[in-house]
Chains A and B, each alone.
Chain A
């Protein structure tokens, strides 16, 4: 086959603009008569709120302070519309947006943020997803904190245990991770000459942003345009709305270009995180090291908002066995609301966390059976024709054996070492 691109060194089309500093990110955009916006965010995790903007509005240079009262449709979200553009009566996490101050410059906006009075009536919060699953726990939205339950069953569980010589049971926990992309969120919105509300922003999904901006402002999608600038890293952290609706609302209402730039600190509390998981695993193998059974309960803390929790925890469940053939499998994977910072898409999307559990289980099984950690993997890995726990038949490229062989070679692992 003659390929023009694959296997060849290709220069990035945006390389030149990036090495010369000419590539524009949203913070680099300047328009005449541009005004600025800053977001007031909750510093409490769970509280009823009353907001008084009277003092702040009086500050010279302040043009308007937006709250929930100014938003036509105050809800948005990638799967469930559980985010509020501005919190109406309750904050559910630190960093929840309460108001958007628009002024002549950033300095007056910062001053006004300090003058907005927020009366918090704190309510009991819940910060551990296991506690949050209990019926008597404080509820974040509605009457249950369980957003999603993915169930996977294959084979016969009893048989799996009776065929096992060794069974290991452990609980593994992974932590919250931030994407820490280098370019903090920023954007510029304006109404263009053709009366199209335009938002220039660094985003992973201009088409979804357009839907969400139009829906919140009660406009048709044709009246909204999203222009994706250069994106200074994303890694999943720019899949949810951050400042797009705030900017669009301000520019549409005031008919002026409005710009906002988040500080690194605000960026951290404004966007999603990797879901922390609690993974309870029970894995059994026969005397020869062949896996017979795996039971897993995976609980994902999605914080105050669902974002992509259903998709992420489904993926954790689907990938729970790792790249191993296991005849009998039971997986229950949950996404649960808490008052922690919300979790969403982040590199690997739920598949990154589960190896912490399934690979340690393999090492511990190997040790108990007196087999080395490589051999036990080679016995159980997917090969061409293997069937996964979800029923997928692997018909194409399944080169895990080659991958492990390379690793063994490169780390200088001797197969005889550790063999019982």
Chain B
């Protein structure tokens, strides 16, 4: 067992963890933040994407002890005071969701992209979500939703 300290969605945690668990196991099994999904367990599908110290990571490829001292944002931390983040709002309105299993990871990748680059081209959006597989939508609506989110963020000044 190892003690680690980390911040998840703005809350500080001190946790005793087994050395062999992954960040995704910590989030899901320990903290019950099940919005972060496991699709492949080997970094191919991006369903487990979270933002770690400002960078999007596959939480299935990060060991939990490696997250010691870090600041993690998951899909559950995106709403502020019960208000949807513009990306979440845009995904609903554009119909960029079908089965929904890729959605949390996809939204986190879009968030990481827009945090770094507020006005990406369509091509850059596609590149930004290229680590996330969606089997249902065909991606067009996800790119459309991202463009709508960019508009909302600009309007709201988030």
Which residues of chain B come closer than 8 Å to A11, judged between CB atoms?
Answer: 92-93
Q: Which of the segments A19-27, A318-326, A335-343, A412-420 contacts the partner chain?
A: A19-27
Q: Is B79 engaged at the interface, CB distance under 8 Å to the other chain? A: yes
Q: How far is the CB of A334 from chain B (nearest CB, A)?
A: 30
Inter-subunit contact A18/B135 (CB<8 Å):
no
Q: Is A355 engaged at the interface, CB distance under 8 Å to the other chain? A: no
Inter-subunit contact A19/B84 (CB<8 Å):
yes
Inter-subunit contact B37/A264 (CB<8 Å):
no
Which residues of chain B come closer than 8 Å to A25, judged between CB atoms?
Answer: 37, 101
Which residues of chain A come closer than 8 Å to B93, judged between CB atoms?
Answer: 11
Hey, what's the 0/1 contact readout for B19-45 against A, CB within 8 Å counting as 1? 000000000100011111111111001
Which residues of chain B come closer than 8 Å to A231, judged between CB atoms?
Answer: 99
Which residues of chain A come closer than 8 Å to B42, judged between CB atoms?
Answer: 264
How many Å lie between the Cα of A44 and that of B79 in the bound state? Answer: 50
Hey, what's the 0/1 contact readout for A198-234 against B, CB within 8 Å counting as 1? 0000000000000000000000000000000011111
Q: Which of B36-82 contact A (CB under 8 A)?
A: 36-42, 45, 47, 74-76, 78-79
In the complex formed, the residue of A with least CB distance to B42 is A264
In the complex formed, the residue of A with least CB distance to B39 is A182
How many Å lie between the Cα of A18 and that of B102 in the bound state? Answer: 9
Known: A27-B38, A183-B37. A19 touches B103 (CB 8 A): yes
Partner of A18 from the list B39, B103, B133, B134 (CB cut-off 8 Å) is B103
Inter-subunit contact B135/A235 (CB<8 Å):
yes
In the complex formed, the residue of B with least CB distance to A23 is B100
Known: A27-B38, A181-B135, A182-B133. A21 touches B75 (CB 8 A): yes
Inter-subunit contact A233/B104 (CB<8 Å):
no
How many Å lie between the Cα of A322 and that of B68 in the bound state? Answer: 60
Partner of A182 from the list B88, B91, B99 (CB cut-off 8 Å) is B99
How many Å lie between the Cα of A12 and that of B141 in the bound state? Answer: 14
Q: How far is the CB of A217 from chain B (nearest CB, A)?
A: 29
Q: How many chain A residues touch the partner (CB < 8 A)?
A: 32
How many Å lie between the Cα of A222 and that of B16 in the bound state? Answer: 45
Inter-subunit contact A183/B32 (CB<8 Å):
no
Inter-subunit contact A21/B104 (CB<8 Å):
yes
Inter-subunit contact B76/A21 (CB<8 Å):
yes
In the complex formed, the residue of B with least CB distance to A232 is B101
How many Å lie between the Cα of A152 and that of B95 in the bound state? Answer: 42
Partner of A183 from the list B76, B84, B88, B99 (CB cut-off 8 Å) is B99
Q: Is B112 engaged at the interface, CB distance under 8 Å to the other chain? A: no
Hey, what's the 0/1 contact readout for B94-137 against A, CB within 8 Å counting as 1? 01011111111001000000000000000000000000011110
Q: Which of A228-258 contact B (CB under 8 A)?
A: 230-235
In the complex formed, the residue of B with least CB distance to A235 is B135
How many Å lie between the Cα of A14 and that of B32 in the bound state? Answer: 21
Q: Is A180 engaged at the interface, CB distance under 8 Å to the other chain? A: yes
Q: Is A360 engaged at the interface, CB distance under 8 Å to the other chain? A: no
Q: How far is the CB of A33 from chain B (nearest CB, A)?
A: 15
Which residues of chain B come closer than 8 Å to A263, judged between CB atoms?
Answer: 41
Q: Is A119 engaged at the interface, CB distance under 8 Å to the other chain? A: no
Q: Is A404 engaged at the interface, CB distance under 8 Å to the other chain? A: no
Q: Is A16 engaged at the interface, CB distance under 8 Å to the other chain? A: yes
How many Å lie between the Cα of A28 and that of B27 in the bound state? Answer: 12
Which residues of chain B come closer than 8 Å to A20, judged between CB atoms?
Answer: 35, 75-76, 78-79, 84, 88
Q: Is A142 engaged at the interface, CB distance under 8 Å to the other chain? A: no
Q: Is A80 engaged at the interface, CB distance under 8 Å to the other chain? A: no
How many Å lie between the Cα of A245 and that of B65 in the bound state? Answer: 37
Q: How far is the CB of B24 from chain A (nearest CB, A)?
A: 11
Inter-subunit contact A21/B101 (CB<8 Å):
no
How many Å lie between the Cα of A27 and that of B40 in the bound state? Answer: 13
Q: Is A15 engaged at the interface, CB distance under 8 Å to the other chain? A: yes
Which residues of chain A come closer than 8 Å to B75, judged between CB atoms?
Answer: 19-21
Known: A21-B34, A263-B41, A264-B39. A233 touches B99 (CB 8 A): yes
Q: How far is the CB of B127 from chain A (nearest CB, A)?
A: 21
> Which of A17, A24, A179, A264 lies at the interface centre, i.e. has the most chain B CB atoms within 10 A of its CB?
A264
In the complex formed, the residue of B with least CB distance to A180 is B135
Q: How far is the CB of B66 from chain A (nearest CB, A)?
A: 20
22 contacts between A and B (CB under 8 A): A14-B97, A14-B100, A15-B97, A16-B92, A19-B97, A20-B79, A21-B36, A21-B74, A27-B34, A30-B32, A181-B99, A182-B47, A183-B39, A184-B39, A230-B99, A230-B100, A230-B101, A231-B99, A232-B101, A233-B99, A234-B99, A235-B135
Beyond the given A19-B107, A21-B35, A182-B133, please list 9 additional residue pairs across the A-B interface where CB-CB is below 8 A. A9-B95, A18-B104, A27-B38, A30-B32, A181-B99, A183-B39, A232-B101, A233-B98, A263-B41
Residues of A within 8 A of B (CB): 9, 11-12, 14-25, 27-28, 30, 179-184, 230-235, 263-264
Nearest first, the 10 closest Cβ-Cβ pairs linking A and B are A21-B35, A18-B100, A232-B101, A21-B75, A28-B34, A15-B92, A19-B88, A182-B101, A233-B99, A183-B101
